[in-house]
Amino acid sequence: MLYVPGGFGTRQLLHDSEFIEWLKTGSNVNYKVSVCTGSLLFGAAGFLDGKKATTHPAAYDLLRPYCLEVIEDRIVKDGHIITGGGVATSVDLGLYICELLGGAEAALRIQKQMDYPYYKVGQYYNRS
């Protein structure tokens, strides 16, 4: 799994060819996961070509040139690419990954241990 977080630093990294080339070395991993504006970096690396994706709502317009379609949801899975919205989405995204890899029961156990009532098993956005 390749995980790329977001933040304002992504805007500089978009133009850092050495970083983008390094990111491309993860092209064969089973899952590419980003949250917030980390999806912009996936786009710059070419991972979002022909894919649906999301990002922080304030960056939807920045994401549009890199993907087939920007989906204005918290989590979007298109094949083995999983993108999350703003930084607060990272909690739901983590539980989604637990559900994807370990099943609904595993996600529910973790959710209960976290005392996090907001995640709904099966609610997110498999677009593949």
Active site residues: 36
Q: Rounded CA gap, 9 and 41, in Å? A: 10
Beta bridge partner(s), residue 75? 84
Nearest residue to 100 (alpha-carbon basis) of 72, 81, 117: 81
Q: What share of the chain is helix, strand, coil (3-state, %, to 5)?
A: 45, 15, 40
Side chain identity, residue 122: G
